[in-house]
């Protein structure tokens, strides 16, 4: 399992994205799956910075990647404020653009583009988001 820890700053999302891309390539994911994983991780890390930490520079983000025959599992860990994912309303993606909220799509994107998304919150250990993206099945 490979690991990287970066300060929770937006500029560090580039380094995390490169780390994720390399792991996704090692897992044998196709180009669209790699893009999906990178996007989901960027959304998750943006949410960690904005919501769990309340802004930049207030904590670290640890990312672990586990490559398997089935695909790629990503673990994102932070020590920020926990949240209840069930409390986040699904966005109305069919509403006219003018009526849509400017935020709130991150969790939706993660759930749509990843095969599995799980949140764990522990007052002592912190928050862990686990996401899995499987390889495209050969026909």
For 28, phi then psi, to 5°, come to 80, 25
pLDDT at 108: 82
The span from the CA of 22 to the CA of 59, in Å, is 24
pLDDT at 100: 59
**So what's the pLDDT on residue 22?**
97
DSSP β-bridge partners for residue 103 = none
| Separation CA 43–CA 49 (nearest Å) | 10
What's the pLDDT at 107? Answer: 84
Q: Could you tell me the fold of the domain covering 2-134? A: Heat Shock Protein 90 (3.30.565)
Please, what are the averages of pLDDT over each run of 10 residues along the chain (139 residues)?
A: 96 97 96 96 95 95 97 97 77 64 73 94 95 82
What pLDDT is recorded for position 83?
Answer: 81
Residue 58 is predicted with a pLDDT of 96
DSSP per-residue codes, 72-88: EEEEEEE-S----GGGS
pLDDT score for 88: 67
In 3D space, the residue among 84, 71, 87 whose CA is nearest the CA of residue 131 turns out to be 71
Domain spans, the chain: 2-134
């Amino acid at each position: 399992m490979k690991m990287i820890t970066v300060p929770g700053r937006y500029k560090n999302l580039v380094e995390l994205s490169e780390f994720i891309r390399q792991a996704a390539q090692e897992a044998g994911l196709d180009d669209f799956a790699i893009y999906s994983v990178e996007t989901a991780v960027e959304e998750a890390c943006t949410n960690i910075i904005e919501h769990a930490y309340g802004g930049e520079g207030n904590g670290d983000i640890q990312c672990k990647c586990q490559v398997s025959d089935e695909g790629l599992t990503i673990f994102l860990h932070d020590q920020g404020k926990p949240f209840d994912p069930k409390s986040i309303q699904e966005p109305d993606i069919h509403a006219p653009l003018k009526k849509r909220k400017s935020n709130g799509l991150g969790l939706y994107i993660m759930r749509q583009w990843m095969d599995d998304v799980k949140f764990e919150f522990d007052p002592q250990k912190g928050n862990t988001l686990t996401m899995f993206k499987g390889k495209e099945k050969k026909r």
